[in-house]
């Protein structure tokens, strides 16, 4: 068994400010830093840090530049298999993808992504057959929306490798128009509160106003309704699909086979430093546990603690805690 992530690899350029400037305004920033990043990379590092028992590989593209070199070296340091990351020659449109991130002192962030080499992370059926011919083992496959066409990959996996669980994080949601049939091919759907509403608006537009009003009256009841709709009417896999809906500081709602819709509160922390890596750390925590056979409830609990540790540090992939740190923190919370 192994875990494959197909996704973006970016270089993050991070500026911290007291408050985001208005249009036309120039301000003094409080700090500047750089990190490796991209949703594909962040999720890969999170899984590798939090699941040392299974091999992890990433499939994607970087440019032939200093950013790409640093990314590959960093992934190697986490024992991630990078043999399937293609290094492009380095023309202007083939440079390593970048993300410009502005972080306010309260931890809220704004992110602007330049795809660069990530725009080439798309594959023909023949190429996919080659990428997934290396093992007879079951592979868990993780995808997001920072690559051009994740849907072609999901469709191919559903048809050619139906035994492979597909984990889909449709973020950023507006990056792609998701064909409606794709939702039925997803085994584990992980979304935040904004993405969940966007899915309802697109797939079940007749229910959008209703759930939006429910959220305004009682947010937990409203998002529980959304989770129910995502399970029953969106992924609709004869009760075999799993939905995990993250709510930031309010916690998480989830449901899956044998697990009724449930709620786990967030772990309270003293000071939020940077929320950039919270979602990807959470996903890494969930995946790292589910592939090892733990229950959905236990996986969500583990991921919630991991995410709470991540937001107390700066950076995205660099903020993800080690497995041992999460276990220690869990022992303190019991």
Sequence ranges of the binding site: 10-12, 38-42, 146, 192, 246-251, 274, 276, 279-280, 310, 313, 315, 319
Helix (H, G, I), strand (E, B) or coil at 35: strand
325 flagged as catalytic = no
Per the annotation, where are the binding residues for substrate? 10-12, 38-42, 146, 280
The four Cα atoms 197, 237, 175, 34 give a dihedral, to 10 degrees, of 90
Closest to 223 (Cα-Cα) out of 196, 249, 201: 196
320, 39 contact by CB (below 8 A): no
Tokens of 267: 């772990």
- CB atoms inside a 10 Å sphere around CB 52: 13
Helix (H, G, I), strand (E, B) or coil at 292: coil
Q: How far apart are alpha carbons 56 and 124 in whole angstroms? A: 23
Per the annotation, where are the binding residues for ATP? 192, 246-251, 279-280
Per the annotation, where are the binding residues for K(+)? 274, 276, 310, 313, 315, 319
Considering 187, 218, 280, 325, which one is annotated as catalytic?
280
285, 50 contact by CB (below 8 A): yes
Could you identify the residue written with the tokens 């709510």? Answer: 247
Catalytic residues, by residue number, are 280
């Amino acid at each position: 068994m192994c875990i494959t992530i197909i996704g973006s690899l970016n270089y993050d350029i991070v500026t911290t400010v007291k408050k985001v400037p208005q249009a036309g305004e120039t301000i003094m920033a409080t700090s500047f830093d750089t990190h490796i990043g991209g949703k594909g990379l962040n999720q890969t590092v999170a899984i590798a840090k939090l699941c040392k028992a299974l091999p992890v590989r990433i499939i994607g593209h970087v440019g032939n530049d200093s950013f790409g070199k640093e990314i590959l070296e960093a992934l190697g340091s986490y024992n991630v298999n990078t043999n399937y990351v293609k290094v492009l020659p380095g023309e202007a449109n083939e440079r390593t993808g970048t993300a410009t991130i502005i972080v306010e002192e309260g931890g809220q962030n704004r992110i602007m992504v330049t795809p660069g080499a990530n725009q080439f992370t798309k594959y023909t059926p023949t190429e996919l057959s080659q990428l997934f011919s290396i093992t007879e083992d079951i592979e868990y496959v993780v995808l997001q929306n920072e690559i051009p066409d994740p849907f072609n990959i999901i469709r191919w996996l559903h048809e050619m490798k139906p035994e492979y669980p597909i984990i889909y994080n449709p973020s950023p949601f507006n990056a792609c128009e998701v064909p409606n049939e794709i939702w039925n091919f997803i085994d584990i759907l992980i979304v935040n509160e904004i993405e969940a509403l966007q899915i309802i608006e697109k797939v079940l537009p007749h229910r959008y106003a209703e759930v939006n009003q429910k959220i305004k009256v009682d947010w937990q009841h409203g998002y529980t309704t959304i989770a129910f709709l995502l399970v029953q009417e969106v992924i609709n896999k004869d009760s075999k699909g799993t939905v995990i809906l993250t709510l930031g500081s309010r916690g998480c709602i989830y449901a899956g086979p044998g697990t009724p819709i449930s709620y786990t509160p967030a772990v309270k922390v003293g000071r939020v430093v940077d929320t950039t890596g919270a979602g990807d750390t959470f996903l890494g925590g969930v995946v790292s546990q589910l592939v090892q056979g733990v229950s959905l409830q236990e996986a969500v609990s583990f991921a919630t603690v991991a995410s709470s540790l991540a937001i107390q540090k700066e950076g995205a992939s660099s903020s993800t805690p080690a497995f041992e740190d999460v276990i220690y923190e869990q022992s303190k919370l019991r």
